[in-house]
Amino acid sequence: MNDREDHEGVSGIAGLSRREFLTVALTAGGGLLLTLNVPSAAGAGAPSRPAGTLNPYIRIDPDGTITLVAKNPEIGQGMKTTLPMLIADELDADWNDVRVVQAQLDPIYGPQFAGGSLGTPLNWIPMQRVGAAGRQMLLTAAAHTWNVPLDECAAEHGTVRHRPSGRTLGYGALASRAATLPAPDLNTVRLKTPAEYTIIGRFTGGVDSPRVLAGEPLFGIDMRLPDLSYAVYAKSPVFGARLVRANIEELKAQPGVRDAFVLRASQPDAAVRMGLVDGVAIIADRWWDAQKALRKLRAEWEPRAASNQSTHAFALEADRLAQKTPQTVLRRDGDVETALAQAHKTVSAAYTYPFLAHATLEPQNCTARLGHDGSLEIWAPTQNPAPGAKLVAETLRIDPGKIRVHMTRVGGGFGRRLNNDYMVEAAAIAQHARRPVKLLWNREQDIQHDSYRPGGFHHFTAGLDAEGRLTAFRDHFITFGQNGRVASSADLPRDHFPAGFVPALQYGQSLIELAVPTGPMRNPGGNALAFAFESFLDEVAHAGGRDPLALRLALYGPARVLPAPPPRYGLRIPPFDTGRVRGVLEEVARRSGWANRDRLPSGTGMGLAFYYSHFGYVAEVVQASVSADGVPHVHKVWAAVDIGSQIINPAGAYNQAQGAILDGLGQALHLLVTLDEGRVLQKNLDTYRLLRIEEAPPLEVHFVSSDNPPTGLGEPALPPVLPALCNALFAATGKRIRSLPIDPQHLRSAAA
Amino acid sequence: MQFSILINGERRSVEADPDTPLLWVLRDDLHLSGTKYGCGIAQCGACTVHLDGVPARACVTPISAVGSTPVVTIEGIGTHEWGRKVKAAWLELDVMQCGYCQAGQVMSATALLAKNPRPTDADIDQAMHGNICRCCTYTRIRAAIKHAAGLPTADTREERS
């Protein structure tokens, strides 16, 4: 199999590379390649990219085949389908004529990443404009061809029709002429009204799905190249340890092994920065040979243990810090101590949640090939290719202009692949071995070398007035950091609810020193904070004798739009709208029969939670009971979701919401990473227990439409399910869950 | 050692150590990489293939244990009547998110339906228990199995519980 075939076949990344783009544009009478000035994918309100920037997203062949480029990585969030849908609708294409190719990393496409549920808000308008500009060029080409006024021409399903005469021309016939026309100004192209959509809003299957089910090699792990070798890379189980010695010569003598060597950390804190760390590379003709040789590795690491880096030690340290004044005050509104002293009633509780691993089902891997000219080509299942290329360039001292990154399909992201440690490892191994290498981590390495969702501890106190209203709120958040700086994804945002909605409030913070890498995991912050805050809010409601729904409605208050925060990610941040909170809370209450929950059988309870994240408003209700041995049984989950005025692809949207809910349930029920003297104890999926099908309850997801631009859905539906479940278990048993994962021992005595 | 195995109706010859898992022979020697590696200890089901129609985890099946048993992988399951129906249902209901586990899911679902064309929810739970979907597409996996079987796809477990 030659290289070219590999390139086409493996990752579907036959994308319009710069070279291909030039080739196509120069082919007279060939295809149309629209060259457009797209504002940086940042969307409205963001600084524009320089005029004249080319944006080749659309190619139309003479036979009418339309090739659309998907700019972002596909990790299962559906953007490879969603973004081309936006282009195709405005292009008035027939979706059956559309073929989608994955872009490689290229600055002409602007930011290319999968994270923060930002694919939709960043690209909703720019991708429509790309399509609308294409339609305008095709209409103009038709008007020129027929020598008729432009406004007598209409586009529909890949065809332009001259209305007065009824003449038609297909896009394939118009493409070469359209390609010679000047590109319209993207900021002034007319976009459709929702009533005119033909593809947006339609149930559309994933563009790669038939190929996945045919077993085609689409994922990073499937990459093939001529003369490819396979590599494993062994690192210290204790994070940040230095390799003292290893039996390299013995490894080299193992069957099938081509080479074995030591690589060194790029910097002292590379472990927590997810860079290249000390390790032993083993290269073999087959991955299995490398994996077998790995079992023969005898390595000495220093230090051999980090005694203060244990789950148990962290809990003791958190207890000690909780007795003290917070090291930092993140936010202070009013006088919380006085308000608590004057409260009719106070409620205090401590909540904690563990470190978690991402456990993407496709283990981390990457393929790299060094060229004769010192260039480096990389095929990576990454969510975030640009920082990966930068990391490789800096670590290996390679000119960034000589690095090409191909984005393969990604077997699950969940935030793990926002970091690119596997990329720099593969590149370093290929550079040292001077041959093309596919690095694949085994599952044990994947679980033991993650960028973990950090654990945390919250010490809450709330003050209530005689009517059960929340008058004071205090949290001493004990989290993790390095040298006084909060670790990645271990922070408490100072505007986190209920801040701004309670007259007296204080968020204090203390840090435990951490030598273990952390990083974003699907809904970073929210996946943990929602559990703590929304469970405690349920305690507040019960302490004050109020319905948890009514308490929330009263706290958020009447429908109003709060002042907009400053722009972030180059994106205008939509203002917080309490009316949208009310909308989803009332919808989920209605759908779940919340008002009638007292009619549920004894031992069955309903719990409610709301969480705002990634611009999405989500309320969820869980109905659950507990078996005699204390195991939670989730009967059903209802969700009401407001992500704006338009669901772009209902097929993807329901799937994302359902998956996020179940992902959260799995975290609440099972997931736990235990640290012991600087290493992770869990090794594989037998002890790191992902949710299985029989544990997935019936789900009802309802979208509440509001007059707001569409926002993302990969993450917002996850957080509320954790507290909704815990609150349901309280309603069912009278037992509070203040520590995750849920311990059946804790619930056993409450079970009937 | 030389092994001759029957894969997707085709006889293939491979040179491998007897303890090499079938998974790695499929992926790295025969370039049938639709079968995925997830855990290596038969916990996730991403490597599910059929051995004589019975689902098996290729990651813990040594090549020496295959013998003359016919092997069917995701690349070949479409020629199987139930395999074709299952794949069609999977696409119609747009089951997958990242898709990494879905070859294994389809192999387990096909084996279930070939044996039991009208599965109950409990049958589905039992047959699919060993296949983890990290994206948690379980709602649609359940519905797609029922759809392939011509059964109503609505999730009625709650009403019966």
| Whole-number pLDDT of residue A108 | 86
Q: Do B36 and A411 touch (CB under 8 A)?
A: yes
pLDDT averaged over every residue in chain B: 97
DSSP reduced 3-state for A353: strand
- Looking at the fold, whether A545 and A469 belong to one and the same domain comes out as yes
Contact residues on chain A for B40, CB-CB shorter than 8 A: 442-443, 684
- Looking up tokens 């199999």 gives A1
Question: Do residue A165 and residue A32 come from a single domain?
Answer: yes
On whether residue A315 sits in a domain, the answer given is no
Rounded CA separation A122/A109 (Å): 12
Contacts across the A-B interface (CB distance below 8 Å) = 182
Query: Hey, what are A59's tokens?
Result: 């190619």
Integer angstrom CA distances of residue A371 from A380, A612, B124: 17, 48, 50
Helix (H) or strand (E) holding B11: strand B10-15
Q: Regarding the domain with residue range B78-155, which homologous superfamily does it belong to in the CATH classification?
A: [2Fe-2S]-binding domain (1.10.150.120)
Spatial neighbors of A160 by CB under 8 A, at least 6 apart, are: A138, A139, A141, A142, A153, A154, A168, A169, A171, A174
* CA distance linking residue A389 with residue A395, whole number of Å: 10
Specify the pairing of strand A229-235 against strand A437-440. parallel
| Structure token digits, residue B30 | 């025969």
Cα separation, A206 vs A124, whole angstroms: 18
CA A357 – CA A672 distance, rounded (Å):
8
**Residue A21 pLDDT more than 60?**
no
Residue B132 with chain A: CB contacts under 8 Å: 361, 685, 690-692
Residue with the two structure tokens 């706290």: A555
C-alpha distances (whole Å) from A299 to each of A307, A426, A723 are 20, 21, 44
Is A322 in contact with A478 (CB distance < 8 Å)? yes
Domain ranges of chain B: 2-72, 78-155
Within-domain flag for A213: no
- CA proximity to A655, closest of B86, B44, B144: B144
Handedness of CA A221, A226, A229, A235 (dihedral sign): negative
Answer whether B28 sits within 8 Å of A230, measured CB to CB.
Answer: yes
How far does B61 lie from chain A, in Å, by closest CA?
A: 13
Q: Where are the alpha helices (DSSP H) in A147-286?
A: 171-178, 209-213, 248-252
Do residues A117 and A520 touch, judged by C-beta distance below 8 A?
no
Kindly compute the dihedral angle of the four CA atoms of residues A488, B132, A665, A362, in this order, to the nearest 10 degrees.
10
Task: Answer for the pair A197, A251: CB distance below 8 angstroms, yes or no.
Answer: no
Structure tokens at A367: 């393929």
d(C-alpha B156, C-alpha B122), whole Å: 12
CA A259 to chain centre: 36
Residue length, chain B?
Answer: 161
Backbone angles phi, psi at A546, to 5 degrees: -115, 150
Residue A647: list chain B partners with CB under 8 A: none
Contacts of B29 in chain A (CB under 8 A): 286
Residue A751 has pLDDT above 90, yes or no: no
Query: Are A411 and B29 a contacting pair at CB < 8 A?
Result: no
Residue A548, Cβ neighbours under 10 Å: how many?
25
Domain hosting A96: range is 3-206
pLDDT at A750: 60
Q: How far, in Å, CA of A648 to CA of A18, rounded?
A: 29
Mean pLDDT across the stretch A188-193? 95
d(CA A133, CA A190): 8
Task: Please state the pTM of the whole predicted model.
Answer: 0.94
All residues at 6 or more sequence positions from A533 whose CB lies less than 8 Å from its CB, including other chains:
A458, A496, A497, A498, A723
Round to whole Å and give the CA distance between A40 and A42. 5
B26 CA to chain A: closest CA distance, Å?
Answer: 12
Same domain, A390 and A421: yes
State residue A34's pLDDT score. Answer: 31
Task: Name chain A contacts of B48, Cβ cutoff 8 Å.
Answer: none
Q: For A606-659, how does the pLDDT look when each residue is reduced to its tens digit (9 = 90+)?
A: 999 999 999 999 999 999 999 999 999 999 999 999 999 999 999 999 999 999
Q: What residues of A are in contact with residue B96 (Cβ under 8 Å)? A: 76, 206, 209, 212
Please say which residue of A429, A448, A467 terminates a domain. Answer: A448
A236 and A345 share a domain? no
Strands (E), A397-469: 403-407, 437-440, 456-464
Q: Is residue A528 part of a domain?
A: yes
Residue A659: closest CA among A87, A75, A30? A75
Give Cβ neighbours of residue A107 (< 8 Å, ≥ 6 apart): none
User: What is the per-residue pLDDT for A568?
Assistant: 75
Kindly list the residues from chain B whose CB atom is less than 8 angstroms away from the CB atom of residue A215: 32-35, 73-75, 103
* pLDDT, position A331: 98
Tell whether omega for the bond before A697 is within 30 degrees of 0, i.e. cis.
no
pLDDT bracket for residue A567 (50, 70, 90):
confident
Does B33 contact A222 at a Cβ distance shorter than 8 Å?
Answer: yes
Dump pLDDT digits (tens) for A367-413.
999 999 999 999 999 999 999 999 999 999 999 999 999 999 999 99
Extended strands (E) in A308-344: 328-333
* Same domain flag for A111 and A178: yes
pLDDT at residue A39 is higher than 50? no
Say yes or no to pLDDT of B33 above 80: yes
Whose tokens are 């919340």? That residue is A594
A408 contact partners, CB below 8 Å, separation of at least 6: A10, A11, A13, A218, A219, A220, A222, A223, A379, A380, A381
What pLDDT is attached to residue A237? 96
Q: Which residue has the tokens 């003359």?
A: B68
The residues, any chain, with a CB within 8 Å of residue B154's CB and separated by 6 or more, are: none
Please judge whether B155 and A75 are an interchain contact, meaning their C-beta atoms are less than 8 angstroms apart.
Answer: no
CA distances from A434 to A243, A364, A429, A437, A439 (A): 23, 21, 8, 9, 14
Assigned token pair, A666:
């799995």
Closest-CA distance, B37 to chain A, in angstroms, reads: 7
Shared domain check, A491 and A568: yes
Q: Are residues A398 and A249 in the same domain?
A: yes
Number of domains chain A is built from: 3
pLDDT in tens, A535-560: 999 999 999 999 999 999 999 999 99
Residue B31: DSSP 8-state = -
Given a cut of 80, is residue A41 above it in pLDDT?
A: no
Residue A316 lies in a domain: no
Q: At what angle do helices B121-128 and B102-115 cross, to 10 degrees?
A: 130
Question: How confident is the prediction for chain A on average, in pLDDT?
Answer: 91
Cβ–Cβ < 8 Å for A221, A440: yes
0.90 surpassed by complex ipTM: yes
* Cross-chain residue pair B98–A75, CB shorter than 8 Å: yes
A148, A175, A206: which is the final residue of a domain? A206
Q: Per-residue pLDDT for A162 more than 60?
A: yes
Q: Which of B33, B94, B155 sits opposite A209 (nearest CB)?
A: B94
Cβ of A658 within 8 Å of Cβ of B17? The answer is no
The minimal CB distance from A412 to the residues B32, B90, B100 is found for B100
Note whether residue A212 is domain-resident. Answer: no
pLDDT given at position A2: 32
Residue A56: the pLDDT is 75
- Would you say residue A378 lies in a domain? yes
Q: How far is residue A442 CA from its own chain's centroid?
A: 23
Chain B positions in Cβ-Cβ contact with residue A592 (cut-off 8 Å): none
Angle at which helix B102-115 crosses helix B138-148, to 10 degrees, equals: 40
Confidence tier at A24 by pLDDT (50, 70, 90): very low
Question: For residue A310, is it within any domain?
Answer: no
pLDDT for position B160: 55
Claim to verify: residue A590 and residue A542 sit in the same structural domain: yes
Pairing of strands A675-676, A257-263: unpaired
* Interatomic CA distance for residues A65 and A73, integer angstroms: 23
**Torsion angles phi and psi, residue A423, rounded to 5:** -70, -45
pLDDT for res A10: 26
Instruction: State mean pLDDT over A414-432.
Output: 98
Name the pLDDT band for B159 (thresholds 50, 70, 90). Answer: low
For chain A, what percent of residues have pLDDT higher than 70? 92
Strand B71-72 to B48-51 pairing: antiparallel
Q: Are A56 and A35 in contact (CB under 8 A)?
A: yes
Report the CATH number at residue A546.
Answer: 3.30.365.10
Put simply, the answer to whether A215 touches B35 (Cβ < 8 Å) is: yes
Q: Determine the Cα–Cα distance for residues A119 and A122; give it in Å rounded to an integer.
A: 6
What is the 3 state secondary structure string of A125-155? HHHHHHHHHHHHHHHHHHHHHHCCCHHHEEE
> Which structure tokens are listed for B127?
């047959």
Domain co-membership, A553 together with A573: yes
Whether the per-residue pLDDT at A416 is higher than 50: the answer is: yes
Distance in Å from the first CA to the final CA of chain A: 64
Segment A513-517 shows an average pLDDT of 97
CA nearest to A693 within chain B: B138
Out of A396, A423, A448, a domain closes at A448
Q: Which tens digits make up the pLDDT trace of B74-89?
A: 999 999 999 999 999 9
Rg from Cα positions in chain B? 16
Beta strand residue intervals within A126-181, DSSP E:
153-156, 159-162, 168-170
- Report pLDDT for A48: 32
Q: Which two tokens stand for residue A514?
A: 């951490």
Mean pLDDT of all residues in A443-453: 98
Q: What is the pLDDT of residue A347?
A: 98
Task: Check A693 against B129: CB less than 8 A apart.
Answer: yes
Do A435 and A538 sit in the same domain of this protein?
Answer: no
Q: Report the residue from A215, A635, A686 with minimal CB separation from B103.
A: A215
Q: Are residues A159 and A192 in the same domain?
A: yes
**Closest-approach residue (CA) in chain B for A637:** B158
3-state SS assignment for residue A590: helix
Query: Which chain A positions have a beta carbon within 8 Å of B161's beta carbon?
Result: 635
Phi, psi (rounded to 5 degrees) for A342:
-90, -5
Contact A219 B100 (CB under 8 A): yes
Distance CA B111, CA B131 (A): 13
CATH superfamily of B2-72: Beta-grasp domain (3.10.20.30)
Q: Report the gap between the CA of B68 and the closest CA in chain A (Å).
A: 23
Q: A13 and A21 in contact (C-beta within 8 Å)?
A: no
Does the pLDDT at position A525 exceed 80?
Answer: yes
Q: How far apart are CA B50 and CA B144, in angstroms?
A: 20
DSSP A86-122: HHHHHHT--GGGEEEEE--S-GGG------TT-HHHH
A432 and A556, same structural domain?
no
pLDDT digits (tens, 9 = 90+) for A311-335: 999 999 999 999 999 999 999 999 9
Share of chain A above pLDDT 90, in %: 87
